[in-house]
Structure 1
Amino acid sequence: MERVDKDVREIGALLADETAQRILIETTTEPMSADELSDACDVSPQTVYRRLEDLKEHDMITEDVRIDDGGHHYKVYTATVDRVVVELTPEGFTLDLSLRERMTTRFTRFVDEVRDR
């Protein structure tokens, strides 16, 4: 998904943020809760939630709901970004985000394609 102008600046600033970087790195291999991310990033939960909102706004992270052994619901987050490419063109900078597709999205699309045949 290609982004231009304002998005390039916003995403660039977000990716320059150490907490956002840590969140993406930590959630690349397995989903994590905000509390787990707070511990892993050594920042307050409020800071984690702010960065998660920024990352979700740019589709760089997804959230799912998990249920613990006691039946309580909580959210976990997974990075979706695989690659970021910034290109300089005569018109300015463009930014291309390569996003991983969630397994549930792929499955839903597969079922829809089979059903439509």
Structure 2
Amino acid sequence: MRRRQQPTIVSDEDELSTVAGLLEDETVQTILTETSQEPMAAQTLRERCDASGPTIYRRLEQLQACDLIVERTRPDPAEGHHRSVYAPNVRKITITLREGELRLQIERTENMADRFTRLIEDIR
């Protein structure tokens, strides 16, 4: 049974600004919506977003820094090695304005402990 993770409340002005800035970016929106259907490689995202490789990798790094997307390694039998795919780490984002304070609440799909457990299980 998987524990439901408690939402993270972002109230620090800089962090709020960073996340809000990311979410207003059209490439970020496409990355999150496309990967919500299935994990995707950066090359596939480049095609779906109609953006350059450096732009895709920069957005992926920004999303990872805010813990909004996770990188997973999958075997690639066609190439004979592994490849990275990306999946959103967001279940729900809520913006609340209450008593003069703007709050961003992010409900993530998995926390660090869950990711570590999954990593160990994948190794076995």
Aligned length: 108
* 3-state SS of paired residue (1:24): helix
Query: Does structure 1 residue 17 correspond to structure 2 residue 25?
Result: yes
CA contact (8 A) 1:33 1:74 kept: yes
Displacement of 1:74: 1.6
Aligned to 1:89: 98
48, 51, 56: which is aligned to 2:64? Answer: 56
TM-score (norm 1): 0.83
Give the counterpart letter for 1:33 in structure 2. A
Distance 1:91 1:55, change over 3 A: same
Residues 65 and 76, structure 1, Cα contact 8 Å, conserved in 2: yes
Q: Which consecutive residues of structure 2, in runs of 5 or more, have no partner in the other structure? A: 1-7, 119-124
Q: Which amino acid aligns with 1:108?
A: T
Contact kept, 8 Å, 1:28 with 1:80, in 2: the verdict is: no
User: In the alignment, is residue 65 of structure 1 matched against residue 73 of structure 2?
Assistant: yes
Instruction: Give the structure-2-normalised TM-score.
Output: 0.78
Query: Which letter maps to 2:9?
Result: E
Q: Does 1:2 align with 2:9?
A: yes
Cα RMSD of the aligned pairs, angstroms, is: 2.1
Report SS of the residue matched to 1:64: strand
